[in-house]
A and B are shown apart, each in its own frame.
Chain A
């Protein structure tokens, strides 16, 4: 895991300032979407070996939700962006 995360608001910051929430690919279904959709949202994960987008919270910095794209096998960080620019809902 890279030691520094390039926060789009604060610049490169130590990884310890952030809290990892998890998979950013899952989208919250509509309230009436039905059991299967909600089951998939709450419990099922793609869990890829390779490129993976995640929600990270800059807890000890700007307190913005970010989307970090990185590799789960090599730990390389490809990109960091504000969750709002990714259409995020977290």
Chain B
């Protein structure tokens, strides 16, 4: 069923009894051409583009929980392509372009809102660093504007401009950045993949990977054995657990990242704003709640919940940036498990096993990459060669000295 304003109207007249489930709940077949492990944003978008762009439709997505239960429903919904480095920027810009056409492409309202992302700077040195990043973006054909203090003050008068320790001097803005309704991204990709023949199998946890003669032949799951021609991992925070099944050790640690939402407020923050003097980023959802987050908790964790000390730290950073936040009540907080790579950049690559593919290491920036990650991963799976914008995301870059260390902090995953 194609969604449209007319279909909403018509179903409204018919008591909304005509809606169908957005995707089926199929019994797994014995064999698929491609099995994707992980029904998160990246797994689903991979399946969608495999079917749509590469005409590979005999595909199953295996999800151990339910669609939307993992990080795709546990982020702060921000999209941007304001990256400095050569290996990153064209990839994230491809993602931004895909976001811009996504709703028409998969016929689902993902509430893509290009409201602008502002990174505040607080010192001359930080302004210089942001100028450099802005220039790099523009050289890659990405929009970037350096705003001075007065311009930012007109846009966001409630910021603490004269903070004694971190006065706000200006901001680097990407106008095309913004937010997207994260659940709708999962649902839209799931529906789009399903309608092209992909089987989305929920509550199906992979327990081991079967190999014969150096090739993967299928996976043992909580719903029995399922054979496959190619196996594609997209297990995010649980990448190590899945890679262990084929004795593959990854340059990844799993860490917990928390996010928060406040009570609903009248329109207050029009853009996405990030604090340059601490780790804090905030936007306001269409329901009115402030959606914000900070840094990872800092210790290895597979638990989808965080620590109160980090809650306090995030709140302090938030109030330092927007003093009015001190009167806002937080409604909810939640944690997601991040696959923190050793240079802060992802991996989309083949592995030492011929028909096994890896998509991992998204740290806490995976949501904005969802479309391009799926597109490039599908390209890799279908053609056995990387997409040109993802060619730097190699698994062997760590051993070859080709790190993509956007933040420049070295192989210390709890610092990225």
Contacts and interface: CB of A to CB of B under 8 A. Distances in A.
Interface string A1-38: 10100000000000110001011000000000001100
Interface in A41-66: 42-49, 52, 54
B251 A75 contact: no
Contacts of B413: 22, 45
B302 A45 contact: no
A44 B251 contact: yes
A90 interface: no
Given A42-B411, A43-B251, A44-B249, A54 B301 contact: no
B170 to A, nearest CB: 33
Interface residues of B, number: 27
A2 B294 CA distance: 20
B273 to A, nearest CB: 27
Interface of B is mostly: mixed
A72 interface: yes
B414 A1 contact: no
A15 B301 CA distance: 15
A84 interface: no
Contact of A1 (B252, B301, B302): B301
Given A35-B399, A43-B398, A49 B302 contact: yes
Contact of A72 (B300, B307, B342): B300
Contacts of A3: 308
Contact of A47 (B300, B303, B398, B414): B300
Contact of B253 (A22, A74, A75): A22
B241 interface: yes
A74 B301 CA distance: 9
Nearest to A2: B307
Contact of B300 (A16, A22, A43, A74): A22
B240 A49 contact: yes
Given A39-B399, A44-B251, A47-B254, A20 B302 contact: no
B27 interface: no
Interface in B262-299: 297-299
Contact of B297 (A1, A42, A45, A52): A1
Contacts of B125: none
B254 A39 contact: no
B384 interface: no
Contact of A49 (B241, B298, B411): B241
B300 A15 contact: no
Interface in A64-90: 72-75
The listed residue with most A CB atoms (<10 A of its CB), out of B238, B253, B306, is B253
Contacts of A22: 253, 300, 412-414
Contacts of A15: 307, 309
A43 B250 CA distance: 8
Given A42-B411, A47-B254, A72-B303, 17 more contacts: A1-B301, A1-B307, A20-B299, A39-B399, A40-B249, A43-B398, A44-B250, A44-B251, A47-B300, A49-B240, A49-B302, A52-B300, A72-B300, A73-B301, A73-B303, A74-B303, A75-B303
Nearest 8 pairs of A and B residues by beta carbon:
A47-B240, A43-B251, A43-B398, A39-B399, A49-B302, A20-B299, A44-B249, A1-B307
